[in-house]
Amino acid sequence: MKYLKYIYYWSIILVPVILFTACKKDFLERTLKDSITDATFYQTDEQVLSATALLYSRVWFDYNDKASFNIGDFRAGTVYSAYNYRGNVLFNTTPEDGENGAAWRSFFIVVAQSNMVIHNVEKFSGSGVSLAIKNHAIAEARFMRALAYRHLVMNWGEVPVIENNLEKLTDTTTRKNTVPSIWKFITTEMRAAAEALPETPIRTGRITKWSAEGMLARFYLTRAGWDAPNPASRNQVYLDSAKYYADRVIKNSGAALLSNYANLFLFPYDNNSESLFSLQWVYSPGAWGTQNSTPAYLGYSSDIANGDGWGGDISATWWMLKQYEGITQTNAADTVLKGRTLDQRLKATFMLPGASYPEITQTLNGADQKLVFPNTSGVPGDARSYASIKKYITGKAKDVGGQSAQQNYGHDTYMMRLAEMYLIYAEATLGNNTSTNDITARAYFNKVHMRSGLSEFMGPLTIDVILRERFIEFAMESMAWYDLVSLHYYNPTKAYEILNSQDRGLFAIHPDVFPNPTEWTFTKTRWSTNERKIDANSGNFRLPIPSVELSQAPNLKKPAVDY
């Protein structure tokens, strides 16, 4: 069981690695200078809180680095890479795929470290640790463990549930567990976390009762599609639970939507009023693993970055651009799109030629200026004829008060925003109906829809309307894939239809004027004509367990058992 031993190894060494890294977040600011052992470390409230701080960053690093957008957006078809990450772009993720392995590894490290926190706090907490902090730390660990298993079960299906790493060190019989029993386990875990966590954060960035109840809303909405009494339907009890928890968070959490969508991703945006849970990254020169490295791979050019900016071939897909109101198909062959949109989320998520971003410095010919996304559509084959990524791109060090360097950014990664609660409520209200005109559901939907600059949506809500809103709202936040998995639980045919209808090929973008265009024309190119479509089916929908894990843990090949 080498794969388990690998996880145990990381669960032991991560504590000193992370705790001894200089950090500037409020709840990470106290660093420890000497070595620790389990028996001597958990003696004060501050030490216990320091021990759980790593659950907000380092343990998620391998997932956040590149795997998050590979799984969450490339596989979902919201974005593509023309020359890299091709397995995920073409929906052909293999057991050898690097990001597939990184995600699996990261989630099990989250599980392992959470387990060790629970064990150590329960066993070694000294008399100087208050009961409130002890319960808080255990609740944080149960929250993180449940969230990691949510990712595991939605990506790989049956996986082994591990609550005690130490018991598994010599256990060679560990088997995968069934999907229903995993969902039962993680729902129970999150309910326990919700009971124990406070209503206000104990430190800036820490999770609260509302973080956990928001996750319960998400869990129940997804679980409703799996544990349904009839095919192609959802469990009404779980739909009601999703609606209940979403409404509680909306009304009681004190969280509020930011008035301007773009501000969600303008530095400094960390721990704003809309964030229900974010990974807490820090700019940490000389360290590795507590910083946000993802922008290095998404920024379109070194012109706007810090020696990185390696995402010149990453773009919104043709299909994604068609989701925006006002960008319309102009011919039957679907080779030309044209128009503009009032939806502010497009500019805040993807860069189109001529769009201006004064918050980002662009260096051209050795001189600095405010970013105007370049117009290179007339240059055949130029990679920047794409709708490049804007979301999470904050620019050079000078744009963020010096708090960034190559592959080293300090801004956080959203794991849950209040906007999702409004859309969960709407979808749970829709439930098994083809449409709904429920007044509250539509009002909640419009909270998100109209915040983007669009006019009020007056029609009935359908699953297509809600999914489209989710795809736009959360594009490049590693959410779309999990929306499709949730749909696949109860309507796999529709999930396949969405994926297989997508065009993931190359195109050129032509602004009518430059800069500050009033509309754009998108034209499909002759390049990659054989790679525009994928074939999603029951044989490739789930991610494959990494081959190294199967070779080292043969019991993973055996049928799953209930946990």
Structure confidence by residue, pLDDT tens digits, 114-137: 999 999 999 999 999 999 999 999
pLDDT tens digit sequence for 387-439: 999 999 999 999 999 999 999 999 999 999 999 999 999 999 999 999 999 99
Residue where a domain stops, chosen among 114, 139, 172? 172
User: Would you say 182 and 207 are in contact if contact means Cβ atoms under 8 Å apart?
Assistant: no
Question: In a 10 Å sphere around its CB, with 0-12 CB exposed, 13-18 middle and 19+ buried, how is residue 552 labelled?
Answer: middle
Distance from C-alpha of 225 to C-alpha of 87, rounded to nearest angstrom: 28
Q: Which of 424, 319, 343 is nearest to 79 (CA)?
A: 319
Question: In a 10 Å sphere around its CB, with 0-12 CB exposed, 13-18 middle and 19+ buried, how is residue 412 labelled?
Answer: buried
Omega into 353 within 30° of 0, i.e. cis? no
Q: Which of 74, 73, 57 is nearest to 18 (CA)?
A: 57
Task: Look at residue 18 in the predicted model and tell me its pLDDT.
Answer: 40
Element (H, E) at 80: strand 79-81
Query: Which three-class secondary structure state does DSSP give residue 81?
Result: strand
pLDDT tens digit sequence for 308-332: 999 999 999 999 999 999 999 999 9
Distance from C-alpha of 496 to C-alpha of 138, rounded to nearest angstrom: 40
Is residue 221 domain-resident?
no
Q: Give the residue carrying structure tokens 């409020």.
A: 26
Please indicate, yes or no, whether residues 167 and 299 belong to a single structural domain of this protein: no
Our measurement of the distance from residue 241's CA atom to the centroid of its chain's CA atoms, rounded to an integer in Å, reads 23
Please indicate, yes or no, whether residues 155 and 21 belong to a single structural domain of this protein: yes
Give me the amino acid identity at 257.
L
User: Would you say 91 and 534 are in contact if contact means Cβ atoms under 8 Å apart?
Assistant: yes
Distance from C-alpha of 106 to C-alpha of 11, rounded to nearest angstrom: 11
In angstroms, the Cα distances linking 184 to 61, 187, 335, 432 are 27, 5, 47, 22
Query: Which three-class secondary structure state does DSSP give residue 324?
Result: coil
Task: Look at residue 172 in the predicted model and tell me its pLDDT.
Answer: 64
Q: φ and ψ at 139, to 5 degrees?
A: -65, -40
Q: Count of CB atoms within 10 A of residue 180's CB?
A: 14
- With a CB cutoff of 8 Å and minimum separation 6, the contacts of 530 are none
Element (H, E) at 510: strand 507-511
Q: Give the residue carrying structure tokens 């009494």.
A: 229
Distance from C-alpha of 115 to C-alpha of 143, rounded to nearest angstrom: 11
Is residue 138 domain-resident?
yes
Distance from C-alpha of 289 to C-alpha of 295, rounded to nearest angstrom: 14
pLDDT tens, the chain, 563 aa long? 444 444 444 444 444 334 333 333 433 333 333 333 456 789 999 999 999 999 999 999 999 999 999 999 999 999 999 999 999 999 999 999 999 999 999 999 999 999 999 999 999 999 999 999 999 999 999 999 999 999 999 999 999 999 998 876 656 678 999 999 999 999 999 999 999 999 999 999 999 999 999 999 999 999 999 988 888 899 999 999 999 999 999 999 999 999 999 999 999 999 999 999 999 999 999 889 999 999 999 999 999 999 999 999 999 999 999 999 999 999 999 999 999 999 999 999 999 999 999 999 999 999 999 999 998 655 554 444 789 999 999 999 999 999 999 999 999 999 999 999 999 999 999 999 999 999 999 999 999 999 999 999 999 999 999 999 999 999 999 999 999 999 999 999 999 999 999 999 889 899 999 999 999 999 988 776 778 999 999 999 999 999 999 888 888 999 999 99
Residue where a domain stops, chosen among 172, 194, 224? 172
pTM: 0.93
- With a CB cutoff of 8 Å and minimum separation 6, the contacts of 381 are 527
Residue ranges with strand state E in 193-332: 275-279, 314-316, 327-329
> By residue range, what is the domain housing residue 302?
295-411+505-531
Is residue 557 domain-resident?
no
Residue where a domain stops, chosen among 125, 144, 172? 172
Task: Look at residue 10 in the predicted model and tell me its pLDDT.
Answer: 41
In angstroms, the Cα distances linking 145 to 89, 162, 320, 464 are 29, 10, 32, 32
Task: Look at residue 39 in the predicted model and tell me its pLDDT.
Answer: 60
Is residue 491 domain-resident?
no
- Which residue blocks in 290-401 are alpha helix, DSSP H? 295-298, 318-322, 344-349
Distance from C-alpha of 22 to C-alpha of 20, rounded to nearest angstrom: 6
Query: Which three-class secondary structure state does DSSP give residue 266?
Result: coil
Is residue 509 domain-resident?
yes
Give me the amino acid identity at 308.
D
Task: Look at residue 377 in the predicted model and tell me its pLDDT.
Answer: 57
Task: Look at residue 142 in the predicted model and tell me its pLDDT.
Answer: 98
**Orientation angle between helical segments 209-226 and 179-196, nearest 10 degrees:** 160
What's the domain count of the chain? 2
Find the radius of gyration of the CA atoms of the chain: 23
Task: Look at residue 28 in the predicted model and tell me its pLDDT.
Answer: 31
Task: Look at residue 136 in the predicted model and tell me its pLDDT.
Answer: 98
Q: Which of 347, 337, 289, 358 is nearest to 10 (CA)?
A: 289
**In the structure encoding, which two tokens stand for residue 209, read together?**
């009762």
Task: Look at residue 6 in the predicted model and tell me its pLDDT.
Answer: 43
Distance from C-alpha of 53 to C-alpha of 24, rounded to nearest angstrom: 12
Is residue 235 domain-resident?
no
User: Would you say 31 and 18 are in contact if contact means Cβ atoms under 8 Å apart?
Assistant: no
Is residue 428 domain-resident?
no
Q: Give the residue carrying structure tokens 């060190």.
A: 169
Distance from C-alpha of 133 to C-alpha of 135, rounded to nearest angstrom: 5
Residue 153's Cβ-side half-sphere holds a number of Cα atoms within 13 Å equal to 27
- With a CB cutoff of 8 Å and minimum separation 6, the contacts of 229 are 235
Is residue 280 domain-resident?
no
Pairing status of strand 79-81 against strand 314-316: antiparallel
Distance from C-alpha of 429 to C-alpha of 424, rounded to nearest angstrom: 8
Question: For the chain, what's the residue count?
Answer: 563
Task: Look at residue 227 in the predicted model and tell me its pLDDT.
Answer: 86
Distance from C-alpha of 464 to C-alpha of 395, rounded to nearest angstrom: 35
